Each structure stands twice: as C-alpha cells, then as structure tokens.
Amino acid sequence: MTALDPNSTRRDAPLPLPPIPEPFRLPFYCGAWHNIGIDYLVNFETAANILGRTHPRLAPADFDGRACFSLNYQLYFAQYGDGSSITEEVEINIIAYPQGEEHRMFPVSYEQYATGIDQTKLLGIGRIHVLCDNVMAIEAGSKIFAEPKLPARFTATMPSLNGPETSDWHVRVLDADFADDGSITPGGRLLFSIDAHLGGLACVPVNNTPVTGYGTDSEGRLLTSRQSVYHPYQYYLLDSETAAQVSLHVAEPTSLVGQDLTALLTHAAAAGMWTYQSAPVAAHSRPYYLA
C-alpha cells in the first residue's frame, strides 16, 4: 500500500488516522461499567442550532420532525499496568450523522434507533458537553476523541448488590475547575440533577452498541469512534404517563450547560431510558464460627 501524504489536498485521498498521544493506548477497556441514559424528543431547530455550534459538519437525526437529545451518566473502572482509576462523567448529546451521508442511511423511528435497528451506525452521539471528574479521562477524551470535556463533580446513588434494595437512580452534577496542581477542585454549585424511578416500568434487552461518537477538533475536522458494551442494555420505552418517573432538573440555568439544557427541554418529555450495570465477577461471603 502506498503511503499517504498527510498534507495532501486531494479531496478523494483517504485521511490519515488521528494521532494517539502518549501514554494512551487504544482500545480503552473498562473493567466495570454502570450507565443510565435518558432520551428526549425535542424541537428540531433548537437542537440543530446547538449542534451546529459545536459540530458544524453534523446534522441532527430527524424522528418524525423531532430531534433526539440524549443525556447519560457513566461510572466506570479501569485497570492499568501500574494502578487503577474510577471515573464518573455525564455526556450531553444530540443524535446526529455526518452531513452528506443521507444516501447511506435508511429511515428509522426513534424507537427503532433506540433498540439498535440502525446497523449503519451513522446515527451517533454529537457530544455538546461532557462533564468528568477524572483528569486523565478529560485529557484522553479531549486529545484523542475531540470531546468538549470539562471538570465536574458528582454525587450518585444507584441500584447495587452491596446497597439497600432499590431500582432508583439519583445523580447530582456539580461544577468544578482545575486546581493549580492540575487536579480537579471539589464540587461547587449544583448544575443539574437526574432522578429516575425504574420501579414498575417494563424493560426489554436491546443490542444497541457499538455507539458511534462524533467529535470536532480545533481545526474543524470531524472524527468518529465507536464504543462497544459486551452485553445487552435494558431499554425502557416511556409514554406520557411513565415519563413522569424521570426528571432532569436544571439548578443553574445561567451556565452554558444550563442554558442548553433549558432550551432543549422546553416542551419536551422523556421518550426512553436505558441502563447497564456490570455483573459482579467475585463475591466474598459471610463468615461463620468454627467450633
């Protein structure tokens, strides 16, 4: 194969792969993954304006005249050769595809998209804001995947085999900053919160990954990658009654994140919800006395 000139201006020439800065390696493997996402069908023009600000080469997916705003919370563990890390983050996304790729796609409803029918994987997440509490994850997301990633802090409760029996998720997102030593400061003002009550809701297993994620770098180049989760998600289709079991409260509407959330959520209700929690791989059982 002939080597490509990375400075080539030919429109039909394949682009080189984006660089992977040291010390990062790909693929990035998670040792445990806990994730809840909420989808809203929102005003199409509002979503298009917000998407275009960050990703001018993406177009929002059209679901019967509405766009899909998708927010998700992640808690994941990663093990490295010399240690480990635990990360929390929230992605604020608009489901989108690259402009000009319509001829490669076929029409799908929101429910079909949410349950994994789109096998082209051109429909993906256009990340608008990514809030994260791990310095290494912020650096990797920004430099490798061109994510608009900023520091934040979180308090979260969720279903757990090691906690009280519940089906509820509660996530609070607090603003933070980088300290002088490069670490992330403690949480400050509450930006927004998520409350999801899954009790009594019917769910179905769905194979909706790999998830396509889009980024736009500082030079305006659009790049994409995919993340696979090796087990089905649980998907909850919501209607006008069950949508009330999910709420997203904007506590700081003057922040940029708050402004976008407020605009997107106007006259919008939750259309679907999806969860994943890693299965345990070991258990330490209760002791007993030896006579």
Angle at the Cα of 96 (from 56 to 8), degrees rounded to 5? 50
- The pLDDT of residue 14 is 79
- Report the CATH superfamily, name and number, of domain 32-277: Acetoacetate decarboxylase-like (2.40.400.10)
pLDDT in tens, 103-136: 999 999 999 999 999 999 999 999 999 999 999 9
- The pLDDT of residue 194 is 98
Identify which of 234, 76, 233, 246 has the alpha carbon closest to the alpha carbon of residue 154: 76
Q: By percentage, how much of the chain surpasses pLDDT 70?
A: 96
pLDDT in tens, 43-72: 999 999 999 999 999 999 999 999 999 999
206-to-109, 147, 210, 220 alpha-carbon distances in Å: 15, 26, 12, 34
Identify which of 186, 196, 198, 199 has the alpha carbon closest to the alpha carbon of residue 156: 196
- The pLDDT of residue 291 is 86
Mean pLDDT of the chain: 94
Residue 186 banded pLDDT, cuts 50, 70, 90: very high
H or E segment and range at residue 53? helix 44-54
- The pLDDT of residue 92 is 98
pLDDT in tens, 234-249: 999 999 999 999 999 9
Cβ count near 140 (within 10 Å): 22
Eight-state DSSP code of residue 104: G
- Taking the domains of the chain in order of start, what are their residue ranges? 32-277
